Amino acid sequence: MLVSTNPHNGEHINSYATFNKAEIDTALNAANRQFQSWQRTSFEQRAQTLKAVAAALRNDKENLAHLMAIEMGKPLKEGLAEVEKAAWCAEHYADNAKSYLANEEIESDAVESYVCYQPLGSILGILPWNAPVWLAFRFLAPSLMAGNTCIMKHDPSVQGCANAIMNAFKSAMAPDNIVVNLPIDNTEVANIIKDRRIKGVSFTGSSATGAKVASVAGSVIIPSVLELGGSDPCVVLADAELEKAADIACLSRIINAGQSCIAAKRIIVEAPVYEQFITLLEDRLARLVVGNPLEHDSQIGPLARQDIQHNLHRQVSQSIEQGANCLLGGRLPADNPGYYYPVTLLTDVTPTMTVFNEETFGPVMCVCKAEDADAALELANHTVYGLGAAIWSKDLQQQQKFVEQLQAGQVAVNGIVKTDPRLPSGGIKNSGIGRELGPHGIRQFVNCKQVWIG
């Protein structure tokens, strides 16, 4: 059974039966058969379906936001915004897939030579709990518009959200089995990846699990896209617009109670403005409201699971023992049955400390001092991760230097690191391989076929 637990109070919500071998086989067959007809539909037909699904999402957004609140703790306001973003993603690919996948003529010794992009088949999406609707459509929309069918293996803890996503396709009267839900235990995933009916795998989750997924996918020679962990640096130089930088750094850090791969996790501040910037951060973080995600004034909900809460506290406690200065938070709530963690601000953090070296998944901000811009750049790149990074400076030369030398899949200059259906997103190093979103994302699960005509 797959169990959903309310992180606000630890109470049981629902249990969902897992598929047995026969049901798994039926689901894979259904998606594989549907591919034979779905791949032959026009872009216009696929777009019509995706736009109807987007409308169905919006019609059900109150329910979806409520499900996210009770299954993984996302405040209602954030949940409603997530549904809108998922619908936008579906509409974006409906409008742009045809141009993204248009034949590309390349001059050669042929009379005519070009590259065309054709779907592969049934693609497996292994999805996480932290943005259950958005991350599903980040996978579903480009894959479907490319002509693939999708097998959705969602996180065990958000099966209510998974069922609601399937209901959106049903409400939109989408063709049966272009998306198939696969409620299975995580231990079954390796066998699914190895199944000959799976032609590619998209995984979002931890770096450790991503390495296992990539290994299994490689063993059967199918493509994989991995969006993994991050310890994103946010570099603030002395000439930065400090008030705005503090606003955005705090927003980036506390979205989804800090449970985001691309959140600003290491704030690196140039020495001349270090103390001033800490004051700005502390003022903003201290005013945030932590509480029941179903209450509209709550800005930060609980963490999704107790093991996440305890691991986060271990990271904070170790870092304090290692010399970090705790200005806010840092203590487990003693009288709350839920999986809450206080907004925590750690300063004077160095590369020897746990919160600097490990990914922190929760509302914990760590601040490091850099003597100058070069030292800040070195600290930013001093990590095994390479997902996103931000640089705050008014100096155009410094901006360009950081853009060129930050080791990350995406860089934001004087702004927030975020995902956008129009732009590719992904990481390097332990943060993953491949890209999602934008024109690059839709080309991950297609046959890039070279055509030479003599």
Lookup: tokens for 347: 């300063």
Mean predicted confidence (pLDDT) in 157-162: 98
268-327, pLDDT tens digit by residue? Answer: 999 999 999 999 999 999 999 999 999 999 999 999 999 999 999 999 999 999 999 999
Mean pLDDT of 168-172: 98
Question: Could you read off the pLDDT of 183-211 as tens digits, one per residue?
Answer: 999 999 999 999 999 999 999 999 999 99
Q: How many CB atoms lie within 10 A of CB 340?
A: 22
Q: How confident is the model at residue 388 (pLDDT cuts 50, 70, 90)?
A: very high
Q: Quote the distance between the C-alpha of residue 256 and its chain's center.
A: 11
The answer to whether 288 touches 299, Cβ cutoff 8 Å, is: yes
Pairing of strands 122-126, 2-5: unpaired
Q: What whole-number distance in Å separates Cα of residue 174 and Cα of residue 160? A: 20
Q: In what order do the strands lie in the sheet with 149-153?
A: 179-181, 149-153, 122-126, 198-204, 224-227, 432-433
Intra-chain end-to-end CA distance of the chain, in Å: 59
Residue 402 C-beta-side C-alpha neighbours within 13 Å: 30
Contact criterion met (CB below 8 Å) for 393 and 399:
yes
Mean pLDDT value of segment 27-54: 98
Which of the residues are catalytic?
A: 227, 261
- Find all residues with CB under 8 Å of 369, minimum gap 6, and list them: 269, 271, 274, 348
CA 299 to chain centre: 20
Distance set, CA 235 to CA 206, 260, 329 (Å): 24, 18, 23
Q: Which domains does the chain show, CATH number per domain? A: 2-228+429-453 (3.40.605.10), 232-413 (3.40.309.10)
Whether the Cβ atoms of residue 235 and residue 380 lie closer than 8 Å to each other: yes
Q: Report yes or no: 135 and 128 within 8 Å, Cβ to Cβ.
A: yes
Note whether 414 and 389 are within 8 A (CB). no
Tens of pLDDT, residue by residue over 123-136, are: 999 999 999 999 99
Dig out the tokens for 63 from the structure.
Answer: 């329910």
Does the pLDDT value for residue 420 go beyond 90?
A: yes
Tell me which of 21-25, 333-337, 356-360, 446-450 is least confident. Answer: 333-337
The per-residue pLDDT for range 80-111, each reduced to its tens digit, is 999 999 999 999 999 999 999 999 999 999 99
CA distances from 387 to 33, 112, 352, 390, 406 (A): 36, 39, 21, 11, 10
**What does the pLDDT read at residue 98?**
98
Instruction: Supply the pTM of this predicted model.
Output: 0.97
Q: Which residue has the tokens 């993204």?
A: 100
Rg of the chain over Cα atoms, rounded to whole angstroms, equals 22
CB 357: neighbour CB atoms within 10 A?
Answer: 16
- Average predicted confidence (pLDDT) for the chain: 98
Q: What is the pLDDT of residue 336?
A: 81
Split at pLDDT 50, 70, 90, the class of 13 is very high
- Amino acid identity of 152? M
Mean pLDDT value of segment 115-143 = 98
pLDDT in tens, 44-69: 999 999 999 999 999 999 999 999 99
Give the C-alpha separation, 242 to 454, whole Å. 62
pLDDT of residue 358: 98
What pLDDT shows up at residue 334?
83
362 vs 287: CA distance, rounded Å: 17
Closest C-alpha among 424, 398, 427 to residue 413: 398
% pLDDT > 70, the chain: 100
Can you tell me the mean pLDDT for 168-191?
Answer: 97
